Amino acid sequence: MLLLLLLPAPGAQGAHPGPSIWGEMVMHEDHMVFMIEGAAGPLTTNLGLDVLLLGPLDEAVTLRLREEIAAFFAEHMPVLIDGQRSVPRLEDLIIQDGAREEASWRAARIVLHYPYAGWPRQMSISWHGFDGEGVDYIPITIKSAPEAAPRMFSLWPDEPQYIWHAESGPRRPRPAPVAPVRGERGGLLLPLPSALLVLGVALFFCFRRRLLPSRAAAVAVPVAGLALAGALWGSGRVTLPLPFTRSAALPAPEQARALFATLHQNVYQAFSAGSEDAIYDLLATSVDSGLLDELYGEIYESLVLREQGGAVCGIDEVEVVEGAVDPASYGAGAAAEFQIDWNWRVRGVVSHWGHVHRRTNHYRARYTVRHDGGSWKIAAVKVLEHERLENE
C-alpha cells in the first residue's frame, strides 16, 4: 500500500531534471545513511577526483575511487553527532554507463554510513572546499523518525555548513492501545434436553429390573429415550462454563470499527521507527504473524530503503474517509474474526532527485481482523481501489 505512494508520477524525470548534485540523509537509531548523486562533471570536480565518474570503468580504477571517495568525505565533509565526529564508511558506489540516456545528469551515486550511539539530538554537516564549480548549491533532504515529513536544506559555497536539531518528544513510537472487547468464559456447549434424556437412559439401565421386569419393555424404553434425545439434539443448548478459559467475543459493529481504526493507525505509525527491528516489532503488535513478513517487506523496502531513484517518503496525514463492517462476515468461520471495508487517504511528501513533492493517494481495501488468542490483529488485506489525487 505504501509502495504506491512512492512511485513517481509519469514523466517525473523529464519534468524535474534536478540540480547537478543532490543528497539525501536518513537518520536511524544508531547510524545515519547519506546518499549523494549527480552529474559526472560537477560531482567529479567537487570530490577532487582525477577520473570522471562515468562508466564503464575497470575494477582496479573503481577500487581506487572507492578509497579516494571514502577519504574525501572523512576529511572534507565532517559530520558531528552531538559534538562527536562520526567517521563514515563507504557502503556503495554506483557508476552509470555513459551510454545511458540520463547519465549526463545522474551519473553516479555514493552511499555512506555514519555510525553513532543512540538517537542524536543535534547533527552538524559541512562540506569544506566546496567552491560551487559546476554547481550553485547542493540540496539535501533529511529524514528522521518520528518526524512526519522530510526536511530540505542546502549547502552553499558561502554557507557550507548546516546544523540539524531533532524535534522534541519521544524517539520511539508506541502502538496505540486497542480497546478490549470482553470475552465470554469458555465452556462446553451442551444440548440440555438431550443430555437429560441420555442421563435418564443410563439410570434406567442401572435399575431396569426393578422398574420394568418385562424384557421387552426394558429394551423399548431406552430405545425410545435415545431416539427422543437425538430428535431434540439441536434445541435447548446451554454452555457449561469451564474454569481458566475465556473466548474472544465478537465486537459490535461500532466497536469493530473503532478497534480496526487503531490497528490501521498502528501500521502507519510503526514506520516512523528508526530501525528494521523496531519497525518489525511494532508491526507485530497489530498484524498477524501470517501477514507480517509480506507487509513488512513490501512497505519497508520501498519506504525506508528509498527505491524509485532514491525517494524518501514522509507521511503527513492518514485520513479515514469511510469504514464499514461486513455483518455477513460475523461467525463465518471457526475463528473469532470479522471483515471491514476501509476507505482512506494518505497525504505525504516524496523527496527524490533533489526535489520535494506533496502527494495524496486514495485507497479502498477489505481487511480481515482476527483474534489470535491474545489480541485482535490484521490477518489479511485485499486492495480494491487506488487513485492518485491532485495535490490539494
For the record, the C-alpha cell of 345 comes out as: 487517504
Strand, coil or helix: 253: helix
The arithmetic mean of pLDDT across residues 151-172, rounded, is 74
User: Is residue 169, in this structure, part of any structural domain at all?
Assistant: no
The arithmetic mean of pLDDT across residues 81-109, rounded, is 82
Contact 375, 178 (CB under 8 A): yes
Residue 308 has pLDDT above 50, yes or no: no
d(CA 265, CA 318): 8
Sign of the Cα torsion 37, 88, 79, 30 reads positive
For the record, the C-alpha cell of 388 comes out as: 492518485
User: Is residue 108, in this structure, part of any structural domain at all?
Assistant: no
Mean of pLDDT over the chain: 76
Residue 111 has pLDDT above 80, yes or no: yes
- Of 218, 241, 264, the one marking the end of a domain is 241
Same domain, 298 and 332: yes
The pLDDT of residue 20 = 82
pLDDT in tens, 187-240: 555 677 777 778 877 777 776 666 666 666 667 777 777 787 777 776 766 655
Task: Kindly list the distances between the CA atom of residue 238 and the CA atoms of 191, 192, 198, 247, in Å, as whole numbers in the listed order.
Answer: 6, 6, 16, 16
Question: Residue written as cell 555510525?
Answer: 115
The arithmetic mean of pLDDT across residues 103-131, rounded, is 84
Same domain, 221 and 299: no
pLDDT in tens, 236-285: 666 555 554 445 577 888 888 999 999 998 888 887 665 667 778 888 88
H/E segment holding residue 199: helix 192-211
Rounded to 10 degrees, the C-alpha dihedral 169/142/128/117 comes to 50
Same domain, 218 and 333: no
Contacts of 169 (CB under 8 A, 6+ apart): 146
User: Is residue 289, in this structure, part of any structural domain at all?
Assistant: yes
The pLDDT of residue 172 = 52
DSSP state string for 40-99: HHHHHHHTT-SS-S-B---HHHHHHHHHHHHHHHHHHS-EEETTEE---EEEEEEE-BTT
Same domain, 235 and 361: no
Same domain, 268 and 366: yes
Same domain, 237 and 257: no
The arithmetic mean of pLDDT across residues 326-351, rounded, is 78
d(CA 321, CA 318): 10
The pLDDT of residue 72 = 93
User: Is residue 304, in this structure, part of any structural domain at all?
Assistant: yes
User: Is residue 9, in this structure, part of any structural domain at all?
Assistant: no
Same domain, 230 and 331: no
Q: Which of 17-26, 52-61, 137-146, 183-192 has the highest mean pLDDT?
A: 52-61
The pLDDT of residue 174 = 62
- Residues of the domain holding 309: 253-389
The pLDDT of residue 61 = 94
d(CA 123, CA 375): 40
User: Is residue 82, in this structure, part of any structural domain at all?
Assistant: no
Partnered with residue 349 across adjacent β-strands are 314, 358
Same domain, 305 and 352: yes
Same domain, 316 and 289: yes
The pLDDT of residue 7 = 38
pLDDT-derived band at 16, boundaries 50, 70, 90: very low
Residue 316 has pLDDT above 90, yes or no: no
The arithmetic mean of pLDDT across residues 347-358, rounded, is 66
User: Is residue 86, in this structure, part of any structural domain at all?
Assistant: no
Same domain, 236 and 282: no
- The amino acid present at 230, given as its one-letter code, is G
Same domain, 237 and 258: no
Domain total in the chain: 2
- Of 241, 264, 284, the one marking the end of a domain is 241
Residue 163 has pLDDT above 80, yes or no: yes
Least confident range of 52-66, 137-151, 293-307: 293-307
User: Is residue 198, in this structure, part of any structural domain at all?
Assistant: yes
Least confident range of 23-37, 135-149, 340-354: 135-149
The pLDDT of residue 73 = 93
pLDDT in tens, 39-74: 888 888 889 899 999 888 999 999 999 999 999 999
- Of 195, 210, 241, the one marking the end of a domain is 241
- What is the domain-level CATH number for residue 267? 3.10.450.50
Same domain, 385 and 260: yes
Beta strand segments in the chain, E: 21-27, 31-38, 79-81, 84-85, 89-95, 108-115, 122-126, 138-144, 151-155, 161-165, 187-191, 237-241, 312-325, 337-352, 355-371, 376-389
